[in-house]
Structure 1
Amino acid sequence: MGLLADTRPLRYTPFRRLWVANIVTVIGAQMTVVAIPAQIFHITGSSGYVGLAGAFGLVPLIVFGLWGGSLADVFDRRKLLVISTVGLIITSTILALLAVLSVDNVWLLLSVFSMQQAFFGLNQPAKGALIPSIVPLKLLPAANSLNMTVMTLGAVIGPVLGGAMIPLFGYQMLYVIDAVFLFATLYAVIRLPSLRPQKQPDTRSGFKGIVDGFRYLRTNTVVMVSLLVDIIAMVFGLPRALFPQIAAETFDGPPEGGIVFSLLFAALAAGSALAGIFSGWVSHVQRQGLAVIVAIVVWGAAMTIFGLSLELASGFWLTALVVALAALAVGGGADIVSGAFRQTMLQEAATDAMRGRMQGVFIVVVAGGPRVADVLHGSVAAVTNTTVASVGGGIAVIVLVLACAAIFPTFRKYRVERDYREHTVPTA
C-alpha cells in the first residue's frame, strides 16, 4: 500500500524496454504537440484555425484507430508497431522540411498533421492491447500508471523546452527532435517477441471486425460508460486550443509562443506526473467506477477555476497566472487517476481476441476527444471569449458526469476483486 509508484511491472523485460524508450520519445512527441498549434497561430493569428487542427487530426484518428484495432486482433501486434512507428518518423521529418523551407501554408501543414495522426491511430491500439500479454493482470493498474507517468513527465519537459526553443531555433528543430527520438521506440518494438493475438474462429478484420467490436461494446455497460465519461471530460473540459490566445492576449506573451504558453501546456502534465509518482495506491482500489467519477468531477471543477482565474489577469497578473497553473495541475492529477482506472477496466474486461478492437475504440476516444475539444473551445472562444469557453466547459463536465453516475449505477458500483497470485508472462 506504498505511496510511491508501484515499479513491479519493470521487472518484465519487454515492458521495461518500451517504458524506457517512451521516456525520450514522449518528450519529442510533446514538442510536436506544442509546435503544431503555435505554428498555426503564428501563420493565421486565429484560435479558430488552431481548433481546426482538431478536425484534421480527428478524422484519420477515428478511421485508422478503429482499423488499427481490428488489425491488432488479427495480425502480429509487433509488426503493426514497427510499421506505424516508421510512419510517425517519416511524417515528423516532413514537418521539419516544411518548416526549414518556410512553407507557411496552413492547409499543407494540417494535411501532414493528418497523416501523422493516421499512423498514430494504427500504433496505439496494438500498443495498448499487448500490455496484458507482457505483465501480470494484477499489475495492470501499476503498469498503466507507470506509462501515463512517463507520458506526463515528457509532457512537462517537452512543452517547456519546445516553447523556449521556438524563438531560438524555429519549429523545424522540434520536429527533428521528435523524429530522432522516435528511433528509441522503434528499437524497443523491434526487440519485442512475436505477439500474435489469440484469435477466435469468428474473429474478423476490417470493417466487419470493427462492427463486431461495437456490438461487443454494447453488451458491456462498464466499458461503455468508462468511454462515455472520458468523452465528456475531454470534449467539454480540455481548453488547450485556447492556450495560444490566452498566453498572447491575457498574459501578454509573444504571438509565436513563449514561456507562458509552454507553462500552460506543462502545468496539466506536471499535475499528472506528480499524481503518477505518488500512485502506489492505485493497485489496491476496488471501487474503480466510483474512483473514475470522483476524478472527473475534480477535473471539471479544476477547469472551471482555470477559466475564472483569467478574469484576474487585468489587475492581478501574477496571481491569475499562479491560480491558472495550479488549477491545470490539479486537473492533470485527476486526469491520470481517471485514465489509469479506465484503461485497466478495458484491458481486464476484454478477451485477448477482442482487446485490439477495444483499444482502438479507447484510443479514438482518448485522443479524438481532445481534438473535438479543440474545435469546440476554439469556436466558442471565437464568438465569446476564453473565460466563457473554459468555465462553461468545466461546469458541463461536472453536470454530465454526475448524470452518468445516476443513470448507470452498474458503473458507479463497479468493483474488482484482485487475485494476487503470479501469472506467467514473458520476461525477456
Structure 2
Amino acid sequence: MAGSWFPDTTPLRISPDYRRLWVGNTVAYLGVTTTTVTVAYQMYQLTGSSFAVGAIGLVAILPFIIGGLYGGALVDHFDRKRVALITAGATWLGALALVSQAMLSLNSQLCLYLIVGVQSVFVAVNGPARNAIIPRLLPRHALAAANALSVSATALALALGPLVAGVILTWQGVAAAYLVDALAYTALLYALVRLPPMPVVYGENKGTAPGFASVLNGFRFLRQAPNLRASFLVDMCAMVFAEPQALFPALALGVYAGNPSALGLLQAAPSIGALIGFTVSGPLHRIRRQGLAIVLAVAGYGTAITFAGVAAIGAPGLLVLGVVMLSIAGGFDMVSATFRFTMLQAAVPDDLRGRIQGLFTVVVVGGPRLGQFLIGSAAMWLGEPVAMVVGGVACAVAVGVTTAFNRGRLLRYDARDPSP
C-alpha cells in the first residue's frame, strides 16, 4: 500500500540482480562481523594485551584509507563487476588465510596483523565498487528503499555476528569461526558472478589515468558539490563528537555496578534501534527533502546520545532508559545513513561514483576511530556519563553550525532534482 509504514521491498522485487547482491552482502557481512570478534579474541589469547587488540584497528586504518582513495579511482576506470569480483575474491582468500593460520597453530601476532592489513586494502576497494553498482541495477526512485535495506542488513549483522562468533568460539574454536566468514563470502561471490558486465561510462574525466590525478578529480568535484560536502560534514559531527562505544565497558563495569549483561545491552542497543527503525521505514522512499532528513536525523542522534548520558548520571536504576536512548540513536543513524547513501548514488555522475564512494569510505573508517579517541579522552577528565552528555550536545550544535555555513542549501536538497 502507498501509505504503508512497513519496509519498502520494491528493489528486491523488481531486480533479481539486486536481490542476489543484497542477500550476498547480508550473508557476507555477517561473516565479516564474526571474524572481527574472532581476530580480537585470538589476539588477546596470544598476547593477553588489550593494547595488541586495539592495534588491530590501527593496522587496518592506513590500508583502508589508501584502498578507499585509490580504489575509488579503479572503480571509475574499469568494469565495476570485475573490480568488485576481484577484490571480493582477494578478501575471500584472506578469510582462508585466517582459517589456515588457526588450523596450523602458527600463533603469530605478526601473521594476524599482516593478514588483516592486506585484507583491509581489498575490503576498502570492494565497498565502493558494490555501492557504485547499485544505481546501475535500480531506477532512481528505488534507491532510498534499497539503501534502507542495506543499512538494515548491516545492523542485523552487527547484532548477530558477535553472538554467532561467541557460540562457535565456545563450541568449535577459532578456526571454525574464521571458516564461517569464508563460507559466508561465497554468497557474495555468487551474486557478483551473476551480474551483467558493468563497463565504464566516461563523462568529463575520459582519458584520466586511475592514479593520483584521478583521485584529485574526486576532491575537486566534492569541493564544487556543496550538498554532498555538507552531508559528509554533518555525518562527521556524529562520528567525531558522539561515538560512545569506547565508553561502554566503563559504563557497564563501573557506572552500572559491574553488571556484565549491561555491556551486551549497551553494545547491541544501536543495532537493535536501527532494525526497529527499518521495520517502519516504508515512508522513507517518499521523502523528497532528503538533506533536511539527514540534518534532523543527525541532530536527533546527538540528542539521544545526550539523554543516554543523562541516564548514566542517574545510574544504576536508569540502565533501561540508557538502552532505550541508544536504540533511538541507532534508529536516527539508520535514517541518516539511508539518505546519505541515496544522495551519493543519485547526485554523483556515474563516472565519479567510485571516487566519491571511496572518499566516503575514508570518512566512515576514520571518523569513528577519531571520535572514540576524543570521547575516551574526555572521559578521563569528565567521567564517562558527563563525556557522553557533552559529546551529544556538541554533535547537535555542530550540525547547526555546519548547516548555517552551508547557507541552508542542504536543507533544500530535493530528491526529484538531485544536485550535488
State the TM-score, normalizing by the size of structure 1: 0.86
Q: Structure 2: which amino acid aligns with 1:153?
A: L
Q: Does 1:122 align with 2:125?
A: yes
Moved more, 114-123 or 244-253: 244-253
Q: Give the alignment of 1:192-271 within 5 angstroms.
A: 192-200=195-203, 201-250=206-255, 260-271=262-273
Give 1:262 shift: 4.0
Task: For residue 281 of structure 1, give the secondary structure of its aligned residue in structure 2.
Answer: helix
Paired letter, 2:230? V
Q: How many residues align?
A: 412
Do the aligned residues in 1 keep the contact of 2:230 with 2:410 (CA within 8 Å)? no
Q: Deviations over 1:194-223 (max 9, x none)?
A: 111202324431211100000011001001
Q: Which residue in 1 is equivalent to 2:181?
A: 178
Post-superposition CA distance 1:93-126 (Å, at most 9, x none) = 3334555566666565444322232111110111
8 A Cα contact 2:277 2:334, kept in partner: yes
Contact residue 48 and residue 382 of structure 1 kept, 8 A: no
Q: CA deviation at 1:231?
A: 1.6
1:286 — aligned with what? 288
Stretch of structure 1 that moved more, 170-179 or 286-295? 170-179
1:193 aligns to what SS in structure 2? coil
CA contact (8 A) 2:242 2:375 kept: no
Partner of residue 55, structure 1: 58
In structure 2, the residue matched to 1:401 is 399
Structure having greater relative contact order (Cα 8 Å, sep ≥ 6): 1
1:333 paired with 2:331, answer: yes
Q: C-alpha separation between the residues in 2 aligned to 1:361 and 1:157?
A: 28
- Secondary structure at 1:416 match in 2: coil
Q: Are 1:158 and 2:156 counterparts?
A: no
Q: Is the 8 A contact 1:380 1:389 kept in 2?
A: yes
Deviates more, 1:44-53 or 1:63-72: 44-53
8 A Cα contact 1:47 1:244, kept in partner: no
* Residue 88 of structure 1: how far off its partner (Å): 1.8
Question: Which residue of 336, 342, 345 corresponds with 2:343?
Answer: 345
1:282-313 deviations in Å (ceiling 9; x for gaps): 11112211111110011112222333434455
1:48-197 correspondence to structure 2 within 5 Å: 51-99=54-102, 108-197=111-200
Gaps of 5+ in 2: none
Query: Cα–Cα, structure 1 residues 171 and 330, in superposed 2: closer, same or farther, change >3 Å?
Result: farther
The one-letter code of the counterpart of 1:208 is A
1:82 CA drift (Å): 1.2
Q: State, as a whole percentage, how many aligned pairs show the same letter.
A: 37
Pair 1:308–1:8, CA change in 2 (3 A): same
C-alpha distance 333-299 of structure 1, shift in aligned 2 (>3 A): same
Cα RMSD between the aligned structures? 2.8
> 1:256-405 maps to which residues of 2 (within 5 A)?
260-313=262-315, 315-316=316-317, 319-320=318-319, 322-381=320-379, 385-405=383-403
Give the Cα–Cα distance (whole angstroms) in 2 for the partners of residues 100 and 238 of structure 1. Answer: 36
Q: SS state of the match for residue 27, structure 2?
A: helix
8 Å Cα contact 1:67-1:207 kept in structure 2: yes
Return closer, same or farther for 1:206/1:166 CA change in 2, 3 Å cut-off: same
Seen in structure 2, the aligned counterparts of structure 1 residues 90 and 332 have a Cα distance that, compared at 3 Å, is: same
What's the TM-score, normalizing by structure 2?
0.88
CA separation of 1:250/1:36 partners in 2, compared to 1, >3 Å: closer, same or farther?
farther
Give the 3-state SS of the residue equivalent to 1:366 in structure 2.
helix
Pairwise CA distance, 1:415: 2.8
Q: Deviation of residue 382 (structure 1)?
A: 5.9
Q: Which moved more, 1:331-340 or 1:384-393?
A: 384-393
In 1, distance between residues paired with 2:82 and 2:263?
A: 38
Q: Is the 8 A contact 1:89 1:182 kept in 2?
A: yes
Counterparts of 2:103 and 2:408, CA distance in 1: 54
- Most deviating of 102-111 and 86-95: 102-111
Q: Distance in 2 between matches of 1:174 and 1:377?
A: 32
The separation in 1 between residues aligned to 2:38 and 2:310, in whole angstroms, is 27
Alpha-carbon contact 1:152-1:269 (below 8 Å) kept = yes
Tell me the distance in 1 between the aligned counterparts of 2:76 and 2:16. 23
Once residues 353 and 168 of structure 2 are traced to their aligned partners in structure 1, the CA distance between those partners, rounded to angstroms, is 40
Q: CA deviation at 1:342?
A: 1.1
Distance in 1 (CA, whole Å) between partners of 2:257 and 2:43 is: 18
Deviation at 1:57, TM superposition (A): 2.4
Which residue in 2 is equivalent to 1:424? none
Q: What is the CA-CA distance between 1:234 and the residue it aligns to?
A: 1.4
Change (3 A) 1:310 1:174: farther
**Which amino acid counterpart does residue 303 of structure 1 have in structure 2?**
I
Q: Which amino acid aligns with 2:213?
A: K
Contact 2:313/2:386 (<8 A) preserved: no
Tell me by how many angstroms 1:339 deviates: 0.8
Which stretch has the larger CA shift, 81-90 or 215-224? 81-90
2-side partners of 1:127 and 1:237: how far apart? 28
2: distance between equivalents of 1:385 and 1:223?
35
Deviation at 1:280, TM superposition (A): 1.2
Call closer, same or farther: CA 1:39–1:355 in 2, change over 3 Å. same
Distance 1:80 1:379, change over 3 A: farther
Identify the residue that residue 423 of structure 1 maps to in structure 2.
Answer: none
Q: Is the 8 A contact 2:304 2:328 kept in 1?
A: yes
